Structures are given as structure tokens and as C-alpha cells.
Structure 1
């Protein structure tokens, strides 16, 4: 096909179709090579458009990235909408964390966005990371309320769990981690089971602390000394 005929063939697409092809092209390239390695030329070739057509829509590649990444703005919120109703706090945490693993596992675009946020500081990565933090806020507030009577600082604990999930999903094709091959079905199930066990430990520990405090308060009301209370209730 001649260059002239190729140009004619391209013009048959509607503006909506061209926009769809551009977004599809950038998505495919991001999943294949990551944000940092996508080029405007690559997008134009994949979408079968001339650079001039691209520039009529976007000022530059960053503007296209900004438009594209909005699809992930409410990724976690959309996940939370699927959560069953009337779960208690412990089951809510387990459900969110296990489904975070499941949702991220095969979502190459979201994986590449997390990698980009780590490697590049720019207005887009600051926006996407900041918005995700805002969306996470309701879960964090729930945990803060649940653990406020314990001596656990749940915020950095939750941050460690969530970031650990991110890292293990992103790293799983590179090598074993703690002698577990997370790039297998068995490794994935072990991760989900381990996260569930960790959540159980956190809630059991907190429940025991709260119960110990109630026992101590009753003993104080009966005039029992702090020394005896400490040795009988809070001894390690």
C-alpha cells in the first residue's frame, strides 16, 4: 500500500475512533515497556496516526499520560464497592487486602503506574499517589478507631502491609522472596493466606489488650495494687 493510500485509509476513522486507538496504543505500550520508555513516535505508530494528529489532541506525551492515568484514580474505590455488606472490621481488612492482591496481580497498567511513581517525581505521579492516599483514608480511619485502645501504631503497620503487597506483586517475576516463589499459584495463595493470618494476629492482640485493660480497671476498683495487677494481668 502506498503512503498516499495509507493516509487516505487513516482518515476514514472518526475522531472518537482515533482517540480510542490512541488510548489503546498508550495502554499497550505502558504495559509492555513502562511509562518511562513510551515515546510519542511509538504511540503514533501504534495508533496509526501522524504526529500532527496527536498534537491536535495533546500538547505532549505527559498530557496523554495524565489523561490515561485518570482511569486509575478510583481503582481502589471501585474495588471497595464490590465488598460484601455488614462485614466486621477484621473481615473488612481481610477482604480489602486479599482483593488488593487479586486485583493488582494481573493489572499490568496499575503495576507500571506504581513503578513510575517510585522512579519519577512529576505532577502526574504526585497526583495519582496523593489521590490513592485520599481514597484509602476511610479504611485507615476505620483501623485507627479499632486500634485506638491498643498500644499498636496501626498507621505504619497498615502502610507496611499494603506496601509489602505492592512490592511482592511487582517483584514476583524477578526472584524468590524469603524462599517463596510468588510467581506461582501456590506462592500467590500463600501470600493471601499469610495476609489473612497477619490480620487475625493484629485483631487478636488488640482484643486481648482491651480485655486485659478491663480486668485491670475492675481490679483497681476493688483496691488491688498496681504491682499485683501488673504481675497478674500484664506480665509477659
Structure 2
């Protein structure tokens, strides 16, 4: 539940913090599509005119919030393959960090679900920006695989898509009888993906 911490006149920084916390609360309770200047104004106790001066419209408000996570994966999975003694150790560490980062960051989960299911100019722009950051990371993945039978990029796309799906489903139910919301379930997921990847390392 959102709570304001300040009494009296707020500084610019405090207003921004209140606005961002209000947006996070709305996303958590109702989803990104419910973020509007009016809703944020009510929850953050900030005049609509103040928000409109800063953000112009609902889309700009959402953009300001989601832009905090543009480099989420790069920041949380900042590993150098050259620091590892072999490709297998690199991939196991990469997979574990990826699963841990996605699972623990609920804000990022909400943003990814929103990007996948809502087709708007903002989600398309956000998805394209994430693709740019992914391209910076892909060489670290692809250069570890020397296999003529399969495209490393296609392999990464399939594995990443599968990870997103099972991790972003939340706690709705098990999937194929497995509970990936548990530590043991996520460990099994990481080990299974690693075994798949290992089949294509220097084959």
C-alpha cells in the first residue's frame, strides 16, 4: 500500500519519489494500463497541473517510469565471459543470474508483461529499445557456441522466450506439474536450460 512519508511542502525530489511510488503501486495492484495522470495525482497527492507540466500526458508518465528499467538485464547480468575458465561455467552462471534477476524484480515483471500484451506506440518503442540492449549482450552468448547445426541467436531466443513465459506467469499455477515460484523449481529450470545449452557448446 502506498504511503506518503513527508509533511508540509515537498521538494522537487520528494514529489518525484512520491509520483514514482504511486505509479509502482498502481502497476502492482491494477497493471500498467491503469496508470493515468489522474490516478497518480490522487495517490501521490500531487496536483494534476503539476504532473501535466512534467509529463504532458499519460504515455509520458508511463515512459518516465519504465525508462528506469531500460538497461535492467545489462545491469543485473553484467558478466564477462572472459572471466570464466570455460564456456560451461559461464553459461551456468549466466542462466542462474538471469532467472534470479527476472524472478525477484516485480516491477520488471510487470513491464515485460505489459510489453508483451499491449500493442501501442510506447510498448513498441520500449521493446525496440530493449532489443538494442540485447544486441550488446548477444555476442557474449554467441561466441561461446561453435555449432553449425543451430543458430546461437535462435537458440537464445527460444530459451529466453521460454524463461520469460514460465517466470512471468507468477504464482497462478504449476506448469507441466512444476512450481517455478519455488527455489527448487527455479534451480531445476536453470539446470535444465544449462543441459540444453551444453549440447551445443563446441560441438
Normalised-by-shorter TM-score class: 0.7 to 0.9
**Partner-residue secondary structure (3-state), 1:13:** coil
Instruction: Give the counterpart of 2:16 among 13, 19, 22.
Output: 19
Aligned residues: 197
Structure 1 residue runs of 4 or more that deviate by more than 3 Å after TM superposition: 82-85, 142-149
CA RMSD of aligned residues (A): 2.2
Q: Distance in 1 between matches of 2:165 and 2:157?
A: 12
* Structure 1 residues 138 and 54, CA gap change in structure 2 (3 angstroms): closer
Q: CA deviation at 1:71?
A: 0.8
Higher gyration radius (CA): 1
Cα pair 1:98 1:195 within 8 Å, conserved: no
Instruction: Give the counterpart of 2:50 among 34, 49, 53.
Output: 53
Q: Does 1:77 align with 2:74?
A: yes
Q: Distance in 2 between matches of 1:155 and 1:89?
A: 16
1:55-107 deviation line (CA, Å, top 9, x unaligned): 12111111011111111111111123355851233333332222111011121
**Number of the residue aligned with 1:134:** 132
1:105-160 deviation line (CA, Å, top 9, x unaligned): 12111111111111222232222222222222244234444445421122221101
TM-score of the superposition, structure 2-length normalised? 0.85
Q: Which stretches in structure 2 are left out of the alignment for 5+ residues?
A: 1-5
Q: Tell me which of the two structures has the higher relative contact order, counting C-alpha pairs closer than 8 angstroms and 6 or more residues apart.
A: 2
Greater percentage in helix: 1
Query: What does 1:73-152 correspond to in 2, within 5 Å?
Result: 73-81=70-78, 86-87=83-84, 88-152=86-150
Q: CA deviation at 1:10?
A: 7.3
